[in-house]
Amino acid sequence: MTPMQSRPVSRHSLGYRFQRSVRRDWQLWVLLIPALLFFLIFCYFPMYGVQIAFRDYKAAFGITGSKWVGLKHFEAFFDSYYCGRMFRNTILLNVYGLIFGFPIPILMAILLNQLNSKRFKGFTQTAIYVPHFISTVVLAGMIYLFFSPTSGIINKLITSFGGESIYFMIEEGWFRPLFIGSDIWQNAGWNTILYIATLTSIDPQLYEAATIDGATRMQKIRHIDIPHLIPIAVMMLILNCGSLLSSNTDKALLLQTSGNIKTSDIIGVYVYNTGLGKAQYSYTSAIGLCLNVINFVIIMTVNAISRKLSDISLF
């Protein structure tokens, strides 16, 4: 809570400046305190508690009293049979999700912007946000219902064209398409918001000038819309790269069946099942820590590269 990290701009000591700040702006600090307490207790306490990844956690001794074991749990994880499979599953799920899911909102925003009828545009914009308000549990339930081998509409469609019913939920090859497809269905519309906001902030004179110069809609998209969208798209890409290893754990849990476990066994699900289910706190903390560190390194690296190459960065 001290301004230790801020650059010294005056000759007074940090302590003095902090005291003066609190005396002068104490009302601002009072307004901040509830939020700060939340972050301290629910975000920074667990970061302190992550040290159990390097200890053998015993409930009787607590977090700080358990025995240090160094990197034992990390080694155990990297030596374990499922480690490679879990990493592959997690990364593939996210990489495919990014490849298929990332461009669609941009495309939708551009095309929505090109709609002539205000009413149709308004209706469309309202409608494409709706799936975002459906819960993960309901989404999973919908997948089970629609893709059911006996009564699901998808299989009815397949069989009516003379095909064989597919057991979507227990075939490992279908886990990723269902996971990613439903994610796109649910969030692609919602994710257009930022891009639409960017497009509406473009000066209309640009379009008018282009029209007078005889530009077609495609040319306007190419030379006006896309250049304006690139900075925000790069920022979203960086943000997305920061979660390459952290999937929507609850959705994977809900869609996991004994049939698709070969592809649905991702790190988050394993941490939940083994950590909470079998109370292997230290071991799974180590896995979680690995995950978070890798994610953090990826986002910092991508951010730095992007800043170098294009001057676009989060911070």
Show contacts with another protein in window 246-275 (CB under 8 A).
Answer: 249-250, 254, 257, 268, 271-272, 275
Tally of helices (H runs) and strands (E runs) in the chain? 18, 2
* Shortest Å, Cβ 308 to another protein: 19
Please, which of residues 285-304 interact with another protein by CB under 8 A?
A: 285, 288-289, 291-292, 295-296, 299
Tell me the C-alpha distance between 274 and 86, whole Å: 13
Distance of alpha carbon 244 from the chain centroid:
8
Interface size with another protein, residues (CB under 8 A): 110
Write the interaction track for another protein spanning residues 64-103; mark x where CB under 8 A is met and - where it is not.
Answer: ----------------------------------------
Site stretch for another protein (CB under 8 A), options 40-48, 76-84, 92-100, 223-231: 40-48
* Shortest Å, Cβ 219 to another protein: 9
The one among 71, 99, 153, 305 contacting another protein by CB under 8 A: 153
Tell me the C-alpha distance between 219 and 207, whole Å: 10
50 or 230: CB nearest another protein: 50
205 binds another protein (CB under 8 A): no
Site stretch for another protein (CB under 8 A), options 45-53, 69-77, 81-89, 90-98: 45-53
13 binds another protein (CB under 8 A): no
CB atoms within 10 A of CB 129: 15
Classify residue 266 as left (phi > 0), alpha (psi -120 to 50) or beta. beta
The one among 15, 82, 120, 278 contacting another protein by CB under 8 A: 120
CB atoms within 10 A of CB 231: 14
Element at 55 (helix H, strand E): strand 55-56
The one among 71, 127, 226, 309 contacting another protein by CB under 8 A: 127
Cβ–Cβ under 8 Å, residues 190 and 108: no
For 57-176, list the strands marked E by DSSP: 67-68
The one among 74, 96, 102, 146 contacting another protein by CB under 8 A: 146
**Per-residue CA distances from 307 to 232, 238, 241, 312 (Å):** 13, 11, 15, 5
